[in-house]
């Protein structure tokens, strides 16, 4: 992501270090590190840092919260890949955790990453009142993320809702909630004012849903060689996606609408919103 290299280097360094110095079994830490340090866009911690800066905070303040969000994201991928869930053997071109280690280790490493995420936030140097607020954000987003996964794979949605409404509920929870929380946590550690927190929330909600629609489009329009993972998988699995429900053209329009919404939300920040605006632009137009 253009211009974000310094942030991404800081995030990688922090993630690589933050599992060290804990009195936990080597094999468990090894599996956690394998899951956490597997590349990836680091979108969530990047959002936490940029939202913190946008609200006037020093970006290093946001690193523990950003790392915690990334640990939650990593834990969800490890469990989603399990045989009883999506049953995936590969992720980002490498064997998934249960293939590389064992199914039992994948269950336990995912569980540990969730616990370590909450532990990580407690280690940050922001005041306790903010720590408690940040933890509440993360805990709520984590249960909403799990709710989205339940809706997506095990049902439980209101059958009277339109397919489009059902799809929005799934994605606002499954991907959206954690992206929204990543943004809000950055604002909270920066001690943002109410008006700023509201703007960041609007931005996070727009970007979170947009991210998923772009992802769905990439799945139907790009080759596996291009994306580095199996594509067309959603359709194969019979999953509801935006292109399947709205069509490709309507999905693109929805991306434009959400992109506009994200830009508009940043208005209150004037020039300080430039980095978040550039990130939204990148997320709207990415092809992998």
10 Å Cβ neighbour count for 270?
A: 8
Is 71 or 258 the residue whose CB approaches a second copy more closely?
71
Q: Check binding of 154 to a second copy (CB under 8 A).
A: yes
Distances in whole angstroms, Cα of residue 48 to Cα of each of 20, 147, 253: 22, 23, 27
Angle of helix 177-189 relative to helix 43-54, nearest 10 degrees?
A: 40
> In the 3-class helix/strand/coil scheme, how is 166-209 assigned residue by residue?
HHHHHHHHHHHHHHHHHHHHHHHHCCCCHHHHHHHHHHHHHHHH
Q: What are phi and psi of 87, to 5 degrees?
A: 55, 60
Q: Among 28, 240, 245, 248, which residue interacts with a second copy (rule: CB under 8 A)?
A: 28
Beta-bridge partner residues of 94: 91
Q: Check binding of 237 to a second copy (CB under 8 A).
A: no
Q: Check binding of 257 to a second copy (CB under 8 A).
A: no
Return the residues of window 76-135 that contact a second copy according to CB under 8 A: 76, 79, 82, 84-85, 102-105, 107-108, 110-112, 114-116, 118-119, 122, 128-129, 131-133, 135
Q: Check binding of 188 to a second copy (CB under 8 A).
A: no
Q: Check binding of 45 to a second copy (CB under 8 A).
A: no
Q: Among 48, 142, 166, 175, which residue interacts with a second copy (rule: CB under 8 A)?
A: 142
DSSP state of 241: -
Which residues contact a second copy (rule: CB under 8 A)? 22-28, 75-76, 79, 82, 84-85, 102-105, 107-108, 110-112, 114-116, 118-119, 122, 128-129, 131-133, 135-136, 138-140, 142-144, 146-147, 149-151, 153-157
């Amino acid at each position: 992501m253009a211009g974000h290299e310094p942030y991404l280097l800081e995030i990688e360094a922090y993630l690589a270090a933050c599992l060290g110095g804990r009195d936990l079994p080597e094999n468990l830490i090894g599996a956690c590190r394998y899951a956490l340090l597997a590349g990836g866009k680091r979108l969530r911690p990047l959002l936490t840092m940029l939202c913190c800066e946008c609200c006037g905070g020093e970006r290093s303040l946001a690193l523990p919260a950003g790392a915690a969000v990334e640990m939650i994201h990593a834990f969800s991928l490890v469990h989603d890949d399990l045989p009883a869930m999506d049953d995936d053997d590969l992720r980002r071109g490498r064997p998934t955790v249960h293939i590389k280690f064992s199914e039992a280790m994948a269950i336990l490493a995912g569980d540990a990453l969730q616990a370590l995420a909450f532990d990580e936030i407690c280690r940050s140097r922001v005041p306790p009142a903010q720590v408690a607020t940040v933890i509440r954000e993360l805990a709520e987003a984590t249960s909403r993320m799990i709710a989205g996964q339940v809706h997506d794979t095990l049902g439980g949605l209101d059958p009277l809702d339109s397919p489009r409404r059902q799809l929005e509920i799934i994605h606002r929870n499954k991907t959206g909630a954690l992206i929204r929380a990543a943004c809000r946590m950055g604002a909270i550690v920066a001690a943002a004012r109410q008006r700023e927190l509201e703007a960041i929330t609007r931005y996070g909600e727009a970007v979170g849903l947009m991210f998923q629609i772009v992802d769905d489009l990439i799945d139907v329009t790009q080759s596996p060689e291009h994306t580095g993972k199996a594509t067309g998988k959603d359709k194969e699995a019979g999953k509801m996606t935006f292109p399947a429900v709205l069509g490709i053209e309507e999905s693109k329009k929805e991306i434009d609408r959400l992109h506009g919404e994200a830009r508009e939300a940043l208005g209150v920040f004037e020039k300080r919103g430039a980095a978040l605006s550039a990130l939204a632009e990148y997320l709207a137009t990415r092809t992998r």
